[in-house]
Amino acid sequence: MKILIIEDDRSLRMSIFDYLKMEGHICEVAENLFQASDKTSINRYDCIILDIGLPDGTGLDIIKELKKNKAADGILILSARNSLDDKLLGLKIGADDYLTKPFHFAELSARINSIYRRNSFLGLNEISFNEIKANTYDKQAYVNEKLLNLTKKEYDLLVFLMTNRNRIITKESIVEHLWGDEVILTDSFDFVYTHVKNLRKKIIAAKGKNYIKCIYGFGYKFIES
């Protein structure tokens, strides 16, 4: 999952970052409204963790801008205990949920996963396509009911392709979704090809069909043909 953490308190920001990274998520950070606006204007996120009280403005402006542009990013508001009006306004204008400070990281993770399932999979814990199934709760994938031995990136790639089936997915969008700021974009996408090749090989080895098609000059498409 790709997550943006917008929080001006450096200690809390980095604690959330470290915890979510440990859980295997791709995390980016912003410490003020300017940085947050810059990132949300050019990137899409599975979930945005948003502190409303930022030093150069209100995080509510981020929500308004995302909804104005019809962006599908999930939004989890972090709020002070006494900011009920801000929480209610945030939910009214399009936030998905809120969490009051202080909070336990386990609850933060549960709220993020709930938003992700609700926005991406209509609240379901499983997505499937013919003989392939992916469990979004335990992050396991199966072909013909047989567990696939996938790496974290391979699982994320499979889910990304399955939820965007019949669409051409560029190599750039795969890199952005799976690696975020961790990778500096170059002209070489050999590492993307390697992940696709390994995923395809494991699916076929489990007697699954080859649904991952290379669209020369563009990227890949998950389609039955």
* pLDDT reported for residue 170: 87
Nearest by Cα to 98 from 112, 119, 113: 112
Distance CA 23, CA 109 (A): 9
Nearest by Cα to 207 from 150, 146, 134: 146
Prediction pTM value? 0.67
The size of the chain, in residues, is: 225
Question: What residue ranges in 25-83 does DSSP mark as E strands?
Answer: 26-30, 47-51, 53-54, 57-58, 74-79
CB-based contact 77:90 (threshold 8 Å) = yes
Q: Residue 16: helix, strand or coil by DSSP?
A: helix
Q: How do residues 147-198 score in pLDDT, each as one tens digit?
A: 999 998 899 899 989 888 888 888 888 887 787 766 655 556 788 889 999 9
CA angle 53, 96, 82 (to 5 degrees): 40
Distance CA 152, CA 140 (A): 9
CB-based contact 87:98 (threshold 8 Å) = yes
Q: How do residues 32-63 score in pLDDT, each as one tens digit?
A: 999 999 999 888 898 999 998 899 999 999 99
Average pLDDT over residues 123-146: 86
φ, ψ dihedrals at 167, nearest 5°: -115, 145
User: Is pLDDT above 70 for 122?
Assistant: no
* pLDDT reported for residue 4: 95
Q: Which helix (H) or strand (E) holds 219?
A: strand 219-222
Pairing of the two strands 132-135 and 126-129? antiparallel
Q: Take residue 154 and report the two structure tokens written for it.
A: 């391979």
Distance CA 59, CA 40 (A): 12
